Homo-oligomer: A and B are copies of this chain.
Amino acid sequence: MAPKDWRAPGPDPLPPVLRAALEVFARHGYHGASIRTIADAAGLSVPGLYHHYPSKQAILRAVAEATMTEMLEHTTAAADDAGSDPAARFDNIVECLARFHMARRDHAFVASTEMRSMEPEVRARHVAQRDTQQKMLEDAIEAGVESGVFECAHTADAARAVASLCVSIASWYRTDGPLSPDEIVQRHLGFARGMVGAARA
Q: CB within 8 Å of B: which residues of A?
A: 26-33, 109, 112-113, 116, 151, 153-154, 157-158, 160-161, 164-165, 167-168, 171-172, 179, 187-188, 190-191, 194-197, 200
Contact = CB atoms under 8 A, between A and B. Distances in A.
28 contacts: A26-B116, A28-B29, A28-B31, A29-B29, A29-B31, A29-B32, A29-B113, A30-B32, A31-B32, A31-B33, A112-B171, A151-B200, A154-B187, A154-B190, A158-B191, A160-B172, A161-B165, A161-B168, A164-B165, A164-B168, A165-B165, A167-B168, A191-B195, A194-B194, A194-B195, A194-B196, A194-B197, A195-B195
Contacts of A28: 29, 31-32
Contacts of A27: 116
A192 B24 CA distance: 35
B161 A188 contact: yes
A16 to B, nearest CB: 23
A168 B108 CA distance: 14
